[in-house]
Amino acid sequence: MKKLVLNKLAGLENKYEELSELIADPEVMSDQSRWQQYVKSHSELSEVVGLYRDYKNAASELEDVQQMLQDKLDPEIRELAELEAGELAEKKELLEQRLKILLLPKDPNDEKNVIMEIRAGTGGEEAALFGTNLFRMYTRFAESRGWRTEIMDSHLTDLGGIKEVVFLVEGRGAYSQLKFESGVHRVQRVPTTESGGRIHTSAATVAVLPEAEEVEVDISPNDLRVDVFCSTGPGGQSVNTTQSAVRITHQPTGIVVSCQDEKSQHKNKEKAMRVLRARLLDQVQQEQQEQMASTRKSQVGSGDRSERIRTYNFPQNRVTDHRIGLTLHRLQEVLMGNLQEVVDALSTTDQAERLQQVE
């Protein structure tokens, strides 16, 4: 491992030991706000420091065994020593790779909640029905992780398809797990509306936005136009006669957000503002990424929502992620929310690509 990396790890270990002393100091403990800040920092460093100590132990033991192999040894002892040296070298290499991954710059959004948007694309009613499949897939995946989901806004078709749905996924690390889902999702199957049994190709787009805190996005009330109207259901019929639905237009950017799922105008406005903040933050971050070409070399992490990222082929029971060449013949399992294998593969590929850029 490079000396620069080792020096950085040694510095983190020193910081960890300093924090260990501070959180045990009665004077610090009397200031709960300060103490909790130190405890959080200590916890964040625990994994990398633990791995660094394991790495140092493995490196030291390997050096001892290699030193021993330079002496004259009984053939049987030499064989055992060579075997141990091989195992220690493998362990050291594995720990080194894990440490490099932990030292990669963290995405500041990784621990945030996300606001997801699913919109039917080409394919008419079939695309809307596929949107329903995607919504169920993500909500069930969220349930499996112990996360909470909440619909912010939705527009359905007469057959129960989703023209558009905006929903919150609330849980630690939600963005880190779902951020690679942005893009065009394509489905190939025989639609329920098709009498001839022909396979059709339809699509839906997915956007994954980190939820923004109020302090991250400065929105002036003077920049907003707020309209209220009666909420509507499938086919455009009025759901209720009160003007509870809210549409907010951010006039400087032209971004429009509507929310009608709550019966209360106040609650709909509150939800719409959460979506608006997320879209504004996303716009700023997209602009920053476009100015930094190096951050967009990775196809996995590009976040290009016009890119076809995945195909769900029903006749072949196949799901293919085109960015990493992953194919699974477990379509129904994936659509029921068993997404972890896909999520892990995307995350691993992203880490490998970022490691290549820093090594």
Sign, CA torsion 335/339/341/343: positive
C-alpha 45/C-alpha 53 separation (Å) is: 12
C-alpha 48/C-alpha 5 separation (Å) is: 12
Q: What percent of the chain has pLDDT over 90?
A: 55
pLDDT score at 180: 95
Q: What mean pLDDT is predicted for residues 147-156?
A: 92
CB 131: neighbour CB atoms within 10 A? 29
Q: What mean pLDDT is predicted for residues 198-204?
A: 91
CB 192: neighbour CB atoms within 10 A? 10
C-alpha 43/C-alpha 41 separation (Å) is: 5
pLDDT score at 296: 40
DSSP-derived letter for residue 105 is P
Q: What percent of the chain has pLDDT over 70?
A: 89
C-alpha 107/C-alpha 170 separation (Å) is: 18
User: Strand ranges (DSSP E) for the chain?
Assistant: 114-120, 148-156, 162-170, 183-189, 200-210, 224-229, 245-250, 255-259, 308-313, 318-321, 326-328
Pick one of 3.30.70.1660, 3.30.479.10, 3.40.50.300, 2.30.40.10 as the CATH number of 114-290+304-353. 3.30.70.1660
User: Strand ranges (DSSP E) for 43-179?
Assistant: 114-120, 148-156, 162-170
DSSP-derived letter for residue 151 is E
Where exactly are the structural domains of the chain? 3-103, 114-290+304-353
234-to-57, 153, 156, 182, 245 alpha-carbon distances in Å: 64, 13, 5, 26, 15
Instruction: State yes or no: pLDDT of 288 exceeds 80.
Output: no
Parallel, antiparallel, or unpaired: how do β-strands 308-313 and 183-189 relate? parallel
Instruction: State yes or no: pLDDT of 239 exceeds 90.
Output: no
